[in-house]
Amino acid sequence: METINVCVIIGFVLGVYMFVRKLNEIWYLVKLGRKAYKSLPPGDMGWPLLGSSFSFYKAFSVGGDSDSFIYHLLTRNGRVGMYKSHLYGKPTIIVTDPEICRRIYLDDEIFKPNYPNSVKILEVNGLFSRMDHKCAYRIMAAPMNGYEVLSHYVDFIDQIMAEGLEKWSTKKEPIELLGEIGRLFFKVISRIFLGTDIGASRMAELETLYKDLGPAILSILPYDLPGFTFHRALKARKKIENILQCVIEEKRKALEKEEREVESQMDKLIMARDENGMKLYDNNAIIDLLLGLLHAGHHTPSYAAMWALVHISQKPHIFHKAKEEQESILQQRLSTQKGLNFQEIKQMKYLIKLINEVLRRNTIAVASFRKAKKDVNINDYTIPKGWNNYSPKPGTFIPFGIGTRFCPGSELTKLEITILLHHFILNYKMERVNPKCCITHLPAPKLVDNCLCTITKLP
């Protein structure tokens, strides 16, 4: 009798488990209709509300295998190139086939960028995201691309990188290289967009606040509740917003009174006028722009630079070949010249190839996201209107853009990394404290110890 009762309980528990496990599938079956649901690619919708987010997080977190999440879909459903899933609280089609990815990336008429809700923490009012893409791109790209523009930045970037490496080499204790590089890159992007007059204390406070903001990007639990990473990030964002609001007001008053000249990109945005003399951007629009730019301008590049230093330090033959190139360039330098110039940087062919290979092998963005504007049929499978398209891209060389959309800061990032590597290769060496340290892939691939190391100046 007891055995029968145990079997009934086990059967009931299994039944409840199977029902709950299939509840997400049932929900979308009812919502889409049987015919539309059957036209979806194979896959797994996961648990109610959570979907497959925890499986995704497990694969990409510390000690996980970032390939296992996709491999699991392939082994269960075959290599069909598209799989239904549920990530970041939204129904999602995961695309793994390069040709399908290309079609989606290039078709702006049907697919538009659409990121998880957690990424929207980089917006305050949502004004900038609603701006015309071409207009927004011009605003962001203008101060970060082109020979003439970048050549003006070489001197101060050269100084920042040289001083940073010198400071690291004097530390008695190991440094977290990722964080230290982030500080250097934050100085660069802040100087370009905010100028030199916002004050050291404000700069330091902004840098600290952005450290709390970064971990919330691509958070699978973007809830504004005490104890959650997202809650802490929202508080940091509010403080950043207040600081930027004060800086904009101070600059606006000084510019209108002609007490200062237009210097930074913030100044240009403040003073921008249409044909009728009306200002183009109010404070909220400028804050929306700067909030994301200041993050992207130092966060992602610092990951790329860290991996560049790791790889070049681990491969002596590559290091020596890069050093030969740098020494050759120095030998041709005029005795009257002080520091790097843009012409010398253009001669660093091998170093640029090295950086490109690092970016290919260590793709910083985990994936790209698109949203279908209408139902679309691809390879006999339907992507429903409003569903996200998640496109993982390991091993492919698209570090700065996808399809018709290209990162406006790509050239500036390469310039920063090139100058940093130039000084490191010629004058320093790096020794990691934990050479076998694990890697985590969220929000971007990095060493768990943030590349704890010592930087030593060569004699």
Q: Where are the beta strands (DSSP E) in 338-433?
A: 367-372, 376-378, 381-383, 388-392, 401-402, 405-406, 428-432
For residues 191 and 209, give the distance between their C-alpha atoms in angstroms, rounded to a whole number. Answer: 17
Burial of 70 (0-12, 13-18, 19+ CB in 10 A): middle
The CA–CA distances, whole Å, from 206 to 59, 209, 281, 291, 314 equal 32, 5, 22, 10, 34
Give residues with Cβ within 8 angstroms of 96, minimum separation 6: 70, 73, 74, 81, 82, 83, 391, 392
Whether 119 and 367 have beta carbons less than 8 Å apart is answered as no
**Closest residue by Cα to residue 181 from 79, 65, 296, 305:** 305
Is 407 annotated in a binding site? The answer is: yes
For residues 174 and 176, give the distance between their C-alpha atoms in angstroms, rounded to a whole number. Answer: 7
Known binding site: residues? 407
Annotated binding site for heme: 407
